Amino acid sequence: MANHKSALKRIRQTKTRTLHNRYYAKTMRNAVRKLRAMTDKDEAVKLYPSIQKMLDKLAKTNIIHKNKAANLKSSLCKHIASLG
């Protein structure tokens, strides 16, 4: 158990931040899954900018790594291009 008030506060803050980050990471994963499951190119093209924005925001706030965001955007672009 923590011996200092500051350590107890750090534990509370970490728990809150972990829940926040987990929620947004899971939301992002579900959005990526939804786009990958699409077979209609027009719908996928409409959805892509919102997912791209989400990935950029998560990378900026260090919830996901910037290279992971870049790799996901690239693979989603490739998926959309393969639809036809």
> What would the pLDDT profile of 26-63 be if each residue is shown by its tens digit?
999 999 999 999 999 999 999 999 999 999 999 999 99
Please give the Cα distance from 11 to 23 (Å, whole number): 19
Q: Which structure tokens are listed for 32?
A: 């990526």
Q: Is 16 within the bounds of a domain? A: no
Please give the Cα distance from 76 to 54 (Å, whole number): 13
Q: Is 6 within the bounds of a domain? A: no
Of 41, 73, 77, give the one whose Cα is nearest residue 55. Answer: 73
- Output Rg (C-alpha) for the chain, integer angstroms: 17
Q: Is 84 within the bounds of a domain? A: yes
Report the domain count for the chain: 1
* Average pLDDT rounded to a whole number, residues 12-25: 97
Q: Is 30 within the bounds of a domain? A: no
**Mean pLDDT estimate for the chain:** 95
Q: Is 45 within the bounds of a domain? A: yes
Q: Which domain holds residue 46?
A: 40-84
